[in-house]
Structure 1
Amino acid sequence: MAPKVLVSDKLSETAVQIFRDRGIEVDFEPSLGKDKDKLAQVIGQYDGLAIRSATKVTEKILAQATNLKVIGRAGIGVDNVDIPAASKKGVIVMNTPFGNSITTAEHAIAMMFAVARQIPEANASTQAGKWEKSRFMGVELFNKTLGVIGAGNIGSIVCDRALGLHMKVVAYDPFLSEERAKQIGVTKVELDELLARADFITLHVPLTDKTRNILSAENIAKTRKGVRIVNCARGGLIDETALAEALKSGHVAGAALDVFAEEPATENVLFGLPNVVCTPHLGAATTEAQENVAIQVAEQMSDYLLTGAVQNALNMPSVTAEEAAIMGPWLKLAEHLGTFTGQMTDEPIKAVNVLYDGAVAEMNLAALNCAVIAGIMKATNPDVNMVSAPIVAKERGMKISTTNQAKSGVFDAYIKVTVVTEKRERSIAGTCFSDGKPRFIQIKGINIDAEVGTHMLYTTNNDVPGIIGTLGRTMGEAGVNIANFTLGRSSVGKDAIALLYLDAPPPQSVLKALTDTGLFNQVRPLVFDAA
């Protein structure tokens, strides 16, 4: 029986035809996604669901999706899909992460021109019968300094286009290496230097805890007077109230925004201010981009439904069915090792070395490498998945090397990940026991045996009495339960580490209390996808 797919959003006819040409039965109902009750009634008939942003795939919808095997999102954002609920149902969620990169980059450049020359306001004035030539005095982009916050896939395209306009480009990105910066022709700087130097600032980062309000009132105050700011990335990257105040005071000369903290943005503190250009999240809205992502998602879904091949999956590794049964725990371990190093590393990573020892060295190392890199990159970019991770790593000039060797120690198999930066090397090793649960077995060359949990706390200290008591007492007083407690040391009186598996994230007061004791060299909370 042929697979059956529902297209519940507006996808191109070309994409719909791809399903038909591949022998897949398809129902094209582009308005159905807006009717959640009707969608819940019919979703049980389908093996695949192709969507854009209008369809909300909630846990309630998934509860009725008795035959659903794959959800394909034409585009990168999957905020409208309950991925954990889909994973529990065994439904693969795919996206198309790079189909609209050029379009979004071009929109950022267009917005820069618009705010530099006050084009929208001048257009409205002229069409109103006015001729205010002297009112609209703009500035050139030529020879101006563009500060790019986030030099990944889209950001690097913006850099290239800006260099073509003969702008000077400086870029801030924690994962941008000096080598990659030279390759794309930009000067790598820290954020404060970018803020101080840039005539124009454009943002191209995902919205995370670290990037939320990256242009805060404090950081906007650090910019040079007369700066112009462009955001075609994500709402929430800019403190909109602070930006409005800076525009009113004249410190910021203009702003162009395609995204807002709350969307649809029918009201906003920035609306109505002079020299503010706003568009309704049009970054990916070109005929070419819509066609590209629609075709891509149709091809990916067809491949999976007909052959089992998995591409650009957000909740499943790209491995064969035969490999999945054996590799599942090791893929999770590889991701955990990457997540640890990613959360522990604050400077650009130059290289990642992955050692596979024993039985794991005979597995699909490409997929395991992807899991490691995805874990590393998720610390700063939650949109990264196993397929896109190697591309993102390459964009950042990160060199990946792999070593595989026969069994060399007490474990039948283990994985060791070492990350290299300008300042240091950091390594962690782990294995999977017979119960299938990943374990950390070595950190900084110190042997341990630590079960991995969602919330963990990592500390380093000199090996002195009182560490266990201090950690236990501080957690107990804060009401944070310790599920597991692992200690290790290099030798008596030397370097020591502790890894605590907690039932809840440690509050900031706990982290401060531990730091204030003076006993610890490092206190770092960690979060793992341990489901």
Structure 2
Amino acid sequence: MPKVLISDSLSPRAVEIFRERGLEVDVKTGLKPDELKAIIGEYDGLAIRSATKVTKDILSAATNLKVVGRAGIGVDNVDVPAATARGVVVMNTPFGNSITTAEHAIAMMFALAREIPAANASTHAGKWEKNRFMGVELYGKVLGVIGCGNIGGIVADRAVGLKMKVVAFDPFLSPERAQELGVEKVELEDLLRRADFITLHTPLTEQTKNILDAKALAKTKPGVRIINCARGGLIVEEALKAALDAGHVAGAALDVFAVEPAKEHPLFGNEKVICTPHLGASTTEAQENVALQVAEQMSDYLMTGAVVNALNMPSVSAEDAPKLRPYMKLAEQLGSFAGQITETGIKAVTIEYEGQAAELNTRPLTAIVLKGLLSPLMESVNMVNAPVICKERDIKVSETKRELAGDYQTLVRVIVQTEQRTRSVAGTLFGGDKPRLVEIEEVPIEAEVTPNMLFIRNEDKPGFIGKLGTTLGDAGVNIATFHLGRTAPGANAIALVSVDQAMGEGLLGTIRGLPSVVRAKELSF
């Protein structure tokens, strides 16, 4: 039974979901790093919010950990590269708090436009400064949305409903999606020049960090108002203060800060600035939604292999998981076979999917092929970190798909280009769920993969099979199955022998010395 630790405060319903799905769950909140490190090795899953820091040090002790689930969108508190290196899937719940965060941005824009916080404080103080607070309408104004993904799209939709003109900067926004939202897709400089209000809804990456710096703010329209409910670090706060002090920026509404919790800040006390303590996702509905979603996602992964909203591996839906399961076994066998017969540096890998295989979600299958391929060459390789290792080692990985079936209704072929030559192995499924090898280095052959196998490339000459059988028999090695293939009579041939036990280098040396043997390799699966 998989075991999950909930280390931050989540809805009690999340605990119920884990248990209903057949998982054991412990709730231990407020753990110090040393306390978490001491117990994390007991768990298959870790469910967190923002308080728990999943560091490289914590992950080093997480010997059984398979998944970290973040109830919320941000994973700043998770060392994702370290998790990936250890084969731990990192999931978040990017949609559970989308409406809540978008509504908070809209609320901040209204408050900024009408100076509501300052007017509220003045009125509570017994003043009646009706003429002091002169706001602006949102109607007809230009809203610039930086980052028009899920949350930004909701904000844009609400703003269109307010009869605002919306312009959006997002390299990934398609023309069709822009048209659907009723927004105009523009470049960043155009947005800065035209917008009366600017709202940010982009993750913090190397490309977006400090996207509103002094240079960018200088390009904005005089009197612009800026809202940030996304991530601290998108705005250079010192530059924003200077622009506010100079009167170029009329106001700012900030829910996030570069350093949190923000107990002191140069913008605090400025009546032009509205501040809230990272409340974007803080509604009852959102907290409940993300807790339930993370419990469901983690349960699905641990119990069925379904992967949803993972940041470091391809998604596998609950519907796809059972369809992919036999292909996953085939993919790992093909990758492992190719890896074991490859003895020089790998330059490129191509995975070909034909027939029914081409209709599947192939990204997870490719990841498993890479895992199988690299495992004979290095330790601690898994389907999560294998693609990263290939990238680090400059191994080019590509996929091709051919939906038209050839000799088999479904086929997967792995082609490995090394420093010296190209090797390939192909397989199919018999009966829909039984993996079979059907081609090795372009030689047709039909074989089931077994734990101990002998791979031989030989010259197709009389007497070879007898000599090989005698050699194995004299060594006390029992042959389970014997598979042969050749390109043409007297040409290159392959023997794939399934044996009942490991052979060792001494026997392999004897086999390599037999007449007609070009190459012999012991394989284990």
| Superposition TM-score, scaled by structure 1 size | 0.63
| Residue of structure 2 equivalent to 1:100 | 97
Question: How far does the alpha carbon of each residue in 1:357-393 deviate from its partner, in whole angstroms, 9 at most, with x for none?
Answer: 8546653655336999xxxxxxxxxxxx9xxxxxxxx
Change (3 A) 1:365 1:313: farther
Aligned counterpart for 2:80 among listed residues 80, 83, 104:
83
Return the alpha-carbon distance in structure 1 between the equivalents of residues 284 and 58 of structure 2: 30
1:307 shift after superposition? 2.3
- 2:41 and 2:65 in contact (8 A); partners too: yes
**1:287-436 pair list within 5 angstroms:** 287-317=284-314, 318=316, 320-324=324-328, 327=331, 358-359=352-353, 363=357, 365-368=359-362, 404=403, 432-433=415-416
Change (3 A) 1:432 1:200: farther
Return the alpha-carbon distance in structure 1 between the equivalents of residues 173 and 152 of structure 2: 11
| Residue of structure 2 equivalent to 1:6 | 5
| Superposition TM-score, scaled by structure 2 size | 0.64
Change (3 A) 1:370 1:195: farther
- 1:5 and 1:25 in contact (8 A); partners too: yes
Return the alpha-carbon distance in structure 2 between the equivalents of residues 179 and 148 of structure 1: 17
**What letter corresponds to residue 27 of structure 1 in structure 2?**
D
1:158 shift after superposition? 0.5
Return the alpha-carbon distance in structure 1 between the equivalents of residues 27 and 199 of structure 2: 38
| Residue of structure 2 equivalent to 1:24 | 23
Return the alpha-carbon distance in structure 2 between the equivalents of residues 315 and 246 of structure 1: 39
Return the alpha-carbon distance in structure 1 between the equivalents of residues 305 and 351 of structure 2: 29
- 2:331 and 2:412 in contact (8 A); partners too: no
Aligned pair 1:146/2:143, yes or no?
yes
Return the alpha-carbon distance in structure 1 between the equivalents of residues 271 and 83 of structure 2: 45
Moved more, 19-28 or 181-190: 19-28
State the SS of the aligned residue for 2:362: helix
Return the alpha-carbon distance in structure 1 between the equivalents of residues 176 and 201 of structure 2: 20
State the SS of the aligned residue for 2:225: strand
- 1:357 and 1:406 in contact (8 A); partners too: no
Return the alpha-carbon distance in structure 2 between the equivalents of residues 78 and 328 of structure 1: 30
1:114 shift after superposition? 1.0
Aligned counterpart for 1:220 among listed residues 211, 217, 222:
217
Change (3 A) 1:189 1:328: farther
Identity of aligned residues (%): 65
Change (3 A) 1:141 1:88: same
Gaps of 5+ in 2: 336-349, 367-383, 385-399, 423-525
State the SS of the aligned residue for 1:18: helix
Moved more, 263-272 or 98-107: 263-272
- 2:18 and 2:25 in contact (8 A); partners too: yes
Return the alpha-carbon distance in structure 1 between the equivalents of residues 175 and 363 of structure 2: 23
**What letter corresponds to residue 180 of structure 2 in structure 1?**
Q
**What letter corresponds to residue 433 of structure 1 in structure 2?**
V
State the SS of the aligned residue for 1:253: strand
**1:265-304 pair list within 5 angstroms:** 265-304=262-301
Change (3 A) 1:192 1:82: closer
Change (3 A) 1:16 1:173: same
Change (3 A) 1:74 1:205: same
Question: How far does the alpha carbon of each residue in 1:93-124 deviate from its partner, in whole angstroms, 9 at most, with x for none?
Answer: 22212111111111110110111111111112
Return the alpha-carbon distance in structure 2 between the equivalents of residues 357 and 404 of structure 1: 14
Change (3 A) 1:65 1:177: closer
State the SS of the aligned residue for 1:94: strand
- 2:351 and 2:415 in contact (8 A); partners too: no
Return the alpha-carbon distance in structure 1 between the equivalents of residues 415 and 226 of structure 2: 49
Change (3 A) 1:129 1:50: same
**What letter corresponds to residue 101 of structure 1 in structure 2?**
S
- 2:47 and 2:68 in contact (8 A); partners too: yes
Change (3 A) 1:371 1:261: farther
Aligned counterpart for 1:122 among listed residues 111, 115, 119:
119
1:181 shift after superposition? 1.5
**1:237-256 pair list within 5 angstroms:** 237-256=234-253
- 2:92 and 2:294 in contact (8 A); partners too: yes
Change (3 A) 1:69 1:190: closer
Count of residues in Structure 1 that have an aligned counterpart in Structure 2? 364
**1:62-77 pair list within 5 angstroms:** 62-77=59-74
**1:177-192 pair list within 5 angstroms:** 177-192=174-189
1:433 shift after superposition? 0.6
- 1:329 and 1:432 in contact (8 A); partners too: no
Gaps of 5+ in 1: 332-355, 373-384, 386-400, 415-430, 440-531
Return the alpha-carbon distance in structure 1 between the equivalents of residues 8 and 207 of structure 2: 33
| Residue of structure 1 equivalent to 2:163 | 166
Q: CA RMSD in A?
A: 3.1
Question: Rg: which structure is higher?
Answer: 2
